[in-house]
Amino acid sequence: MLSVWKKINEHYVKTVIVITIIVNALVVALSFLPGYDGELPYLIQQLPLLNATLNSFTFIFLVGALIAILKENITIHRRFIYGAFTSTTVFLLSYVTYHFMAPSTSYGGDGFLAGFYYFILITHIILAAAIVPLALMSFFSGYNDHRARHRKWVRFAMPMWLYVSLTGVLVYILISPYY
């Protein structure tokens, strides 16, 4: 039985590593692309708002998952987690599409708000990169019903993912006047 668990564990660890490398490399590569030269199609112009909306849904789903597990309702907890992963996956697709097409937008504010914006942005970016493997390890350990291991991963992943999803919305609110 131990060798079966070890194979499952090794499989999802490899999956997590591959997905983490692909997602983070893609996001970094997009920051070096010049963007679309010309008027962006209307649909593409609306993607930042969609991204903020998806981040809002992720935050709500995560809070729902947290409440459900505190009430020991594993079925509802799983459904909220599936919702959070779904909204995050759609967010990533939308984010990649927008940043592939659009040039980078600079923040135009100054003073306290500029400092606040850059603090939020920098912590958001760093933790967004870090949350990929943590959320995936949490997901796979929970999915495979390795509860002790799942709890250990979630202690780090849940607060970080909540912060990333909430600050994603804040970043949009603060930079939206400059699109």
Domain of 104, in residue numbers: 44-178
pLDDT of the residue at 1: 46
pLDDT of the residue at 51: 97
Residue 40 pLDDT more than 80?
A: yes
Terminus-to-terminus CA distance in the chain, angstroms? 56
For 61-76, how does the pLDDT look when each residue is reduced to its tens digit (9 = 90+)?
999 999 999 999 999 9
Higher pLDDT, residue 50 or 32: 50
Could you tell me if residue 167 is inside a domain? yes
Could you tell me if residue 11 is inside a domain? no
Could you tell me if residue 130 is inside a domain? yes
For 99-133, how does the pLDDT look when each residue is reduced to its tens digit (9 = 90+)?
888 888 889 889 999 999 999 999 999 999 999 99
Could you tell me if residue 14 is inside a domain? no
Residue 26 pLDDT more than 90?
A: no
Could you tell me if residue 39 is inside a domain? no
Q: Shortest CA distance to 156 belongs to which of 126, 178, 135, 176?
A: 135
Q: What is the CATH number of the domain that holds 82?
A: 1.20.120.80
112: exposed, middle or buried (Cβ count in 10 Å: 0-12, 13-18, 19+): exposed
Could you tell me if residue 35 is inside a domain? no
For 141-163, how does the pLDDT look when each residue is reduced to its tens digit (9 = 90+)?
999 888 999 999 999 999 999 99
Tokens 């850059």 sit at which residue? 118
Residue 10 pLDDT more than 70?
A: no
| Number of domains into which the chain is organized | 1
Full-model pTM: 0.87
